[in-house]
Chain A
Amino acid sequence: MTQPMSPILSVRGLAKHFGGVAAVQGVDLDLPAGLITALVGPNGAGKTTLFNLITGAVAADAGRVTLAGKELARRTPARMARLGVARSFQDLRLFQSMSVHANVLTATEPHAWFWQPGGRRARMQRLQATELALAETGLSPLADALAAELAYAERKFLSLARILATGARIWLLDEPASGLDPASRSRFSALLRKHAAHGVAICLVEHNLDIVAELADRIVFLDQGRKLAEGEPGAILRDPALAAIYFGEQRA
């Protein structure tokens, strides 16, 4: 396990109310480079909302987000992406009508004009990043297939490939490995481990506790928008009080 370095992304006191309901209440979170942090908690605990607040997809009522020491006040998803914060969605949101290759390539083309800057060299780099991401995720043979035609596991890997190609240093992944068969899951985990070892800060929302036990360097437990606990996976997963909340909720 890598030594935790100083946090790349820091969240202090993030909060959001929807109507009368507090979705996220005063959450602090540090995402250090090279560490895989798992966000767990029962349904409705505010995990996805927290991601939305960090990326600016939803405006926060209170709280601060700092990136490499610099506070980010007016956050929008596009801006956060350009700053190196990549985010995946629970429902994937692949570009269905586009090919696998195009899905990944377009992730490397954020510039809003008729062409991307940088000329031929930059274009070669983007293509190389695309090829590499497809190779790492095992999707190279399917490069020309439409995203809509992919099998379930392939779609999950495509979602990851898009992020890989961007070269982002902070990944917010929303249930990226849920529903994967064991072989795919270990391939997936190996990829995350590999990139964490290269210094990427990864934060996963995950319901599957096996995945969490296998991958996470640290666990953050959320319930009803609040951070209840944070620490080593072993300690958190064995805590009976947290288990009661987690499983109790699920049974209801």
Chain B
Amino acid sequence: MSAYLLNLAELGIIFGLLSLSLNVLIGYGGIFSVAHAVFFGVGAYAGAQIALHIAPDVLLAALGGGLAAGVLSFALALPALRVRGEYFVVASLGLQMVATTIFTEAQGVTGGYGGLVGIPPPSLFGLDISSPWLFVSVCVAILLAVMAAVHALMQGSFGRSLMAVRDSESAAQAFGKIVPILKTLAVVLGCIIAGAAGGLFALQMSFVNVESFTLDQSVLIMAMVIIGGVGTLFGPLLGTALLLLLPAALSFLPGIPPTELGAVQQAIYGLAMTLLMIFRPGGIAGRAEGRR
């Protein structure tokens, strides 16, 4: 039982990182990406390769994953952010749908459809931390550090600038803010964190495969942020906790065949997001009126 809970906690931390990083884009920056799982995947594959060929060090995998995802996001965001928000969403949707194909085809790096297996147990600076409690503790420490950093940034001038750009881009410009740079920084920051989460994921699961990096996953992360409450510090984490517990809760309901579980979850995410937008855009933790 405790192994199950610890596993859930590890996933909770990883998805907590994913949702809080997507919140930087969507909640603070007003930048809509439905491709967050792509950067999660890039980080996971990078972390897996590092673990397989260098060392299964947690920090190394997280940093490597973050770097890989960061570089990719920088390359893509720079041109993509020049255009209107609607176009950026479209581009991100396209990226997500293409990435699945790329992940499946790039056998050398990603192991193709079967993925990469046999990732050695995690270590930290040479010490074996594969025992569940140790690994969870390290992950918690990483999550807390990232939370503190993101919180500091969002409370400071960077967060204010992002929100200003989100609320009125023309007014933000009128006060000297260089919008493309700010948006790019937000996207790269969010994607670096997603990539780092990917590195952790690779070590946690001991294998990575493309199924974890599809549109469904991006939708899940988005739902966590939106249902929990955008633009708040704890909203996304609340959403993460809720939605991670959903599959377990659903398994108690009679009449849902296990093969349909995935589709049922996705249907719930979709419906929840739509209804929230109509009635309570701020999500659970946000203000009732949400944003103007």
Interface on A for B, CB 8 Å cutoff?
55, 57, 76-78, 81-82, 86-89, 93-98, 102, 105-107, 109-116, 148, 162, 166
User: What are 9 A-B pairs with beta-carbon distances under 8 A?
Assistant: A57-B174, A78-B173, A88-B174, A89-B171, A95-B167, A96-B291, A97-B167, A98-B167, A110-B176
Partner of B292, one of A55, A77, A78, A148: A148
B195 touches A (CB below 8 Å): no
Contact: B185 with A114, CB < 8 Å?
Answer: yes
0/1 interface trace, chain B 157-176, chain A, CB 8 Å (1 if under)? 11011011011101111111
Closest 7 CB pairs of A and B: A110-B176, A81-B176, A93-B171, A112-B181, A106-B160, A77-B173, A109-B157
Separation in Å of the B136 CB from the closest CB of chain A? 30
Contact: A166 with B175, CB < 8 Å?
Answer: yes
Which of B166, B175, B177, B291 lies at the interface centre, i.e. has the most chain A CB atoms within 10 A of its CB?
B175
A85 (CB) vs chain B CBs: closest residue: B174
Contact: B175 with A115, CB < 8 Å?
Answer: no
B149 (CB) vs chain A CBs: closest residue: A114
Contact: A78 with B177, CB < 8 Å?
Answer: yes
* Complex CA distance for A110 and B167, rounded to whole angstroms: 16
Name B's interface SS.
helix
Contact: A162 with B157, CB < 8 Å?
Answer: no
Contact: A82 with B176, CB < 8 Å?
Answer: yes
Interface on B for A, CB 8 Å cutoff?
153, 156-158, 160-161, 163-164, 166-168, 170-179, 181-182, 185, 231, 291-292
Contact: A95 with B164, CB < 8 Å?
Answer: yes
Q: Known contacts being A110-B175, A112-B182, A148-B292, is A95 close to B231, with CB within 8 Å?
A: no
Q: Known contacts being A95-B164, A110-B177, is A115 close to B170, with CB within 8 Å?
A: no
List, in ascending order, chain A residues with CB within 8 A of B156's CB. 114-115
Name A's interface SS.
loop
List, in ascending order, chain B residues with CB within 8 A of A113's CB. 158, 181, 185
Separation in Å of the A58 CB from the closest CB of chain B? 11
List, in ascending order, chain B residues with CB within 8 A of A77's CB. 170, 173-174
List, in ascending order, chain A residues with CB within 8 A of B157's CB. 106, 109, 111, 115-116
List, in ascending order, chain A residues with CB within 8 A of B171's CB. 89, 93-95
* Complex CA distance for A234 and B178, rounded to whole angstroms: 42
List, in ascending order, chain A residues with CB within 8 A of B164's CB. 95, 98, 106
A146 (CB) vs chain B CBs: closest residue: B287
Separation in Å of the B85 CB from the closest CB of chain A? 16
A105 (CB) vs chain B CBs: closest residue: B160
Contact: B160 with A162, CB < 8 Å?
Answer: no
List, in ascending order, chain B residues with CB within 8 A of A86's CB. 174-175
Separation in Å of the A3 CB from the closest CB of chain B? 30
Partner of B161, one of A87, A96, A109: A109
* Complex CA distance for A166 and B176, rounded to whole angstroms: 10
* Complex CA distance for A47 and B132, rounded to whole angstroms: 68
Q: Known contacts being A107-B175, A110-B176, A112-B182, is A98 close to B170, with CB within 8 Å?
A: no
List, in ascending order, chain B residues with CB within 8 A of A166's CB. 175-176
Separation in Å of the B286 CB from the closest CB of chain A? 10
A76 (CB) vs chain B CBs: closest residue: B173
* Complex CA distance for A106 and B171, rounded to whole angstroms: 11
* Complex CA distance for A95 and B166, rounded to whole angstroms: 8
List, in ascending order, chain B residues with CB within 8 A of A116's CB. 157
Which of B158, B161, B171 lies at the interface centre, i.e. has the most chain A CB atoms within 10 A of its CB?
B171
* Complex CA distance for A31 and B140, rounded to whole angstroms: 59
Separation in Å of the A47 CB from the closest CB of chain B? 17
Separation in Å of the A139 CB from the closest CB of chain B? 17
* Complex CA distance for A166 and B153, rounded to whole angstroms: 22
* Complex CA distance for A94 and B161, rounded to whole angstroms: 13
Contact: B173 with A112, CB < 8 Å?
Answer: no
* Complex CA distance for A162 and B164, rounded to whole angstroms: 12
List, in ascending order, chain A residues with CB within 8 A of B168's CB. 93-96
Separation in Å of the A124 CB from the closest CB of chain B? 14
* Complex CA distance for A139 and B197, rounded to whole angstroms: 43
Q: Known contacts being A97-B163, A148-B292, is A115 close to B231, with CB within 8 Å?
A: no
Contact: A95 with B163, CB < 8 Å?
Answer: yes
List, in ascending order, chain B residues with CB within 8 A of A57's CB. 170, 173-174
Partner of B176, one of A78, A89, A95, A98: A78
Partner of A97, one of B161, B175, B179, B291: B291
Q: Known contacts being A95-B168, A113-B185, is A78 close to B160, with CB within 8 Å?
A: no
Separation in Å of the B26 CB from the closest CB of chain A? 13
